[in-house]
Amino acid sequence: MKKHVHIIGGGIGGLFTAALLAKEDYPVTVLERSAHVGGGLQSFTRNGVAFDAGMHVVGGLQPGGSLNRICRHLGILDQLHYRLVDDDCGDEVFCFEDGKTYRIPQGRAAFTAYFQENFPEERENIQRYVDHLFALADQVDFFFLRPGSGTTSGDETFYQPSVQFIADHVQNPKLRHLLAYLSPLAGGEAGYTPAYIFALINYLYISGHSRFEGPAEQLAEALVAKIQELGGEVLPCAEVTSMQMTNGWVQSLTTSDGRTFATDCVVSSIHPQSLLNIADNQLFTKAARNRLASAPNNYSAYCVYVVLKEGTFPYLNHPCYCWDSYDKVWQFGKYKEENWPQNLVYFTPCERNQGTYARALQVIVFSPFSMCERWAYTTLGNRSEDYEAWKKRHTELIINKLEKKMPGFRDCVEAIYEATPLTIRDYFNEPEGALYGLLKDSRNPFAGYLPIRTKAENLFLTGQNVYLHGCCGVPLTAVMTAEAVIGEKDVIVRRL
């Protein structure tokens, strides 16, 4: 009989790890605090229109991509409905500073040629930059699911700040900023984000990203069905509140409703600062506990969900980035109400049988948690009037910006809803509503990562704080974690 694995957290990391282990005949039980499993894959409906809470663009789902290979291995690929963004415009960047729009094509060659045409004087530099970017990504073996891999390492530019990496290749300041347009998807902060994280995210999105047709929760549903088909169980409303250990071995987990689960093995897929709250004192030394508790998190976001009047606004098959000025592309960790928002991204979620017109538009303004820190003590459904007024003002600022970019936009709006960093914190149980967990800091590269193994021999970690975040990065980590639980390197990778 194989050991029974209990997984804390039914988000992307927890579900993928559980499905991979269940496929290897391990009995698994996923414990999810929320009534809805899926974490970042959750969707919700307003005015009969579906919105995604935390998954809008997906890398690695194209044929041959890492996520595609993992889903195929699990036998869930043909249950997913998705489409690639357009070849000739995978992303659009607009800047108010000079009113220019850049329609950036998909694919390494087209991407390179596009920037070379726009900046002919930097032709050679752009070629060198793209080559180096892809070479940097190529140094990360686990990203490509190559046997024999598992750790991250690389040349002297690997942990260099991304801003410096770009500046070392191209001269034109405008080009430097444009080449960084994907920085918010990498959790990018000037001086902090290591070049290899930036390279991996660029690799994913330049190679071709996808969007789900219909809500992103379809991936969570497919994973849950697969886990159950393989004999595992997924329990919603099961918030783990404590962990009992003896002699460095986790014996059991207890949930907020008083249930106790005796266990052979545990995988934690929650934020490590949340794990601190439930972990037995034996798990961390005092110094490690203090270090982890004070580790900085990545920024959060202010999100606006717009229900559009039918037949008024076209469906856009790519995200649109909208900047006040070029030089704000790394400025997400700072906030001042008087000049907010300076930089946002909007997109129209794709429905099943998507027609010419969109029913929904989603906006994300990447912003620090500090913007709503003064209400940090409040909880969902229990906020104050001044918070509601603050929200109303901020949503209005965003709609004004969209109206400025697309005159007449207001007339397309049927209803508006929003989520703040506080909402994200409470919805995902994510400290400071951090989009991608702990801050990845090129000056202290190992502070933003956790190893899969812990001090307890039967406790393993997975999720976005181990290796890489996002819909592709987290399943990749799940493969590594599942292999660590099995205790056999490459046992899954070789089958993908």
Ligand X SMILES: Cc1cc2nc3c(=O)[nH]c(=O)nc-3n(C[C@H](O)[C@H](O)[C@H](O)COP(=O)(O)OP(=O)(O)OC[C@H]3O[C@@H](n4cnc5c(N)ncnc54)[C@H](O)[C@@H]3O)c2cc1C
Cα–Cα distance between 276 and 465 in angstroms, integer? Answer: 14
Q: How far is the CB of 21 from ligand X (least distance, A)?
A: 15
Angle ∠(121,125,130) on CA atoms, nearest 5: 130
CA 264 vs. chain centroid, Å, equals 30
Question: Which of 141/426 has CB closer to ligand X?
Answer: 426
| Identity of the residue, 67 or 170, whose beta carbon is nearer to ligand X in the bound complex | 67
Q: Which of residues 326 and 460 has its CB atom nearest to ligand X in the complex?
A: 460
Minimum gap (Å) between residue 119 Cβ and ligand X: 28
Q: Contact at 8 Å (CB) between 251 and 64?
A: no
Q: Which long-range contacts (CB under 8 A, 24 or more apart) does 109-112 make?
A: 111/206
Provide the token pair at 258: 């008083």
Tokens representing residue 465 in the block = 């704080």
CB of 482 to ligand X, least distance (A): 14
Cα–Cα distance for residue pair 190/332, rounded to 1 Å: 9
Q: Choose between 56 and 169: whose C-beta lies nearer to ligand X.
A: 56
Q: Which helix (H) or strand (E) holds 251?
A: strand 249-255
In this complex, which beta carbon is closest to ligand X, that of residue 34 or of residue 458? 34
Structure tokens at 282: 């034996």
* Minimum gap (Å) between residue 39 Cβ and ligand X: 2
Least Cβ distance, residue 251 to ligand X (angstroms)? 17
Q: Supply 158's token pair.
A: 């690997």
Instruction: Give the nearer residue to ligand X in terms of CB position, either 152 or 465.
Output: 465
- Report the residue closest to ligand X, judged by CB: 11
Output 126 or 365, the one with its CB closest to ligand X. Answer: 365
In this structure, the dihedral spanned by the alpha carbons of residues 419, 424, 428 and 430, taken in order and rounded to 10 degrees, is 180
List interacting residues with ligand X (CB under 6 A): 8-14, 31-34, 39-40, 54-58, 239-240, 269-270, 274, 278, 301, 303, 424, 428-430, 435-436, 463-464, 469-471, 474
Check if the beta carbon of residue 89 is closer than 8 Å to that of residue 318.
Answer: yes
User: CB neighbours (10 Å) of residue 178?
Assistant: 23
Three-state DSSP class for residue 340:
coil
Measured between alpha carbons, how far is 93 from 321 in angstroms, rounded to an integer?
Answer: 5
Q: How far is the CB of 16 from ligand X (least distance, A)?
A: 8
Cis ω before 475 (30° cut-off from 0): no
Least Å from the CB of residue 436 to ligand X: 5
Which residue's CB is nearer to ligand X, number 168 or number 233?
233
